Amino acid sequence: MSIPVTTYSMITNLVDGGDPVVAGTLYKFNLDMMTGTATVGGELPLSTDNKVTFVTNNLTCAIGTYTFEESYREVIKMESMKAGTASNKEDLINFKCDLTQLAYFPKEIQGLPEFSYPTYLRYAVMNFNLGQNYLVRTFWPDMTFRGTTTTSYPASDGSLKTFTNKDVQYRIVMNLKEKKATVILYDVKLAEEMPQTISNIVLSNLDLGFSSAGIYVSGSNVVPSVYEGGVATPNSKYTFDSFQCDMTGDLTTATMRYKVAGSYSGHFSGSYILKVASNED
């Protein structure tokens, strides 16, 4: 069975320490269901004038089906200390890949950017070294993160209160060409005393960057908008004095820190992919 998967690759030169190369990439997965093995192939732009191709050796893969978001989803996991050799004679080292459908989706709210996802909902979460000089990681430019948000804020008696909330979701929508991002917060409640939850808060035109550590989104003095009935209304009451999001490691997790209206300090940690062990049913 052949599965073509389009995603985006971030290729870091570990020697010169410059900005990573970011490019759309088509990876081809060829699965042999009888033997439980697979090969992965693709083309990687190491620079504007240097591209390499590769096809891995036959890799043992574990295939699992899971009930997720009220439907059945599939995960194909594979890894190898040495997965093969690329066209530039460099080895594929510490190769890890999850071809997964366990990605969180955002709520549908009229007026917000249309949600984009890869073909057949198959997200390629892949990372490996190409020789000693390059680190390759994949990501998708429209991710919805779930996890834990903790806010701290001054109470009426002057003490500092904290509020923990697992309902807030964060969607990052990247414009790779412009190096800008939109961040959408869903079901926002910053303090226990807030009378009601805000269905959405949208931060537009934030800075998007890539480094050897990962992907980051940042902005300051951002007046957010709230969408209702397809209409965006600016709300300066919840101005974000600062916002910082860092996606590191395999680029499926994020840490966010922000300050709102000079009073609320928020911290979030979570992921956009549900991770499962290969031996789970």
Q: pLDDT for 63-108, tens place per residue?
A: 999 999 889 999 999 999 999 999 999 999 999 999 999 999 999 9
Q: 182 near 113, Cβ under 8 Å?
A: yes
Residue 243 and residue 115 share a domain: no
- Judge if 238 and 152 occupy the same domain: yes
If asked whether residues 231 and 247 sit together in one domain, one would say yes
**Does a structural domain hold residue 217?**
yes
Residue 209 lies in a domain: yes
- 210 and 182, same structural domain? yes
Q: Are 17 and 6 in contact (CB under 8 A)?
A: no
Q: Is the pLDDT of residue 280 over 50?
A: no
Cα 228 to Cα 37, 108, 205, 222: the distances in Å are 49, 12, 20, 19
Are residues 67 and 181 located together in one domain of the fold? no
The residue among 139, 163, 191 that closes a domain is: 139
Asked whether residue 156 falls in the same domain as residue 217, the answer is yes
What pLDDT is attached to residue 109? 92
Check whether residue 198 and residue 127 sit in a common domain: no
| Any domain includes 222 | yes
281 within domain boundaries: no
Query: Is residue 113 located within the same domain as residue 155?
Result: no
DSSP state of 33: T
* Residue 35 confidence (pLDDT): 93
Averaged over 111-126, what is the pLDDT? Answer: 93
**What's the length of the chain?**
281
Query: Could you list the residue range(s) of the whole structural domain that residue 240 is in?
Result: 142-271
pTM, 2 dp: 0.94
What DSSP letter does each residue of 3-25 carry, written as one string? EEEEEEEEEEETTT--PPEEEEE
170, 108: one domain: no
Pair 132, 170 in one domain: no
pLDDT band, very low/low/confident/very high, at 129 (cuts 50, 70, 90): very high
| Residues 105 and 53 occupy one common structural domain | yes
The predicted model gives 12-34 an average pLDDT of 93
**Res. 197: pLDDT tops 70:** yes
Q: What is the mean pLDDT of residues 2-28?
A: 94
- Total domains, the chain: 2
The answer as to whether 277 is a domain residue is no
The dihedral over CA atoms of 60, 81, 126, 257, expressed in degrees to the nearest 10, equals 130
Q: Tell me which of 104, 139, 174 is where a domain ends.
A: 139
Give CA–CA dist 48/3, Å, rounded. Answer: 27
Residue 280 lies in a domain: no
- By the 8 A CB rule, do 249 and 255 touch? no
Domain shared by 131 and 247, yes or no: no
- 163 near 149, Cβ under 8 Å? no
Return the pLDDT at 21: 96
* Residue at a domain's end among 109, 139, 169: 139
Residue 278 has a pLDDT of 63
Q: Is the pLDDT of residue 258 over 50?
A: yes
pLDDT at 195 over 90: no
Grouping H, G, I as helix, E, B as strand and the rest as coil, residue 237 is helix
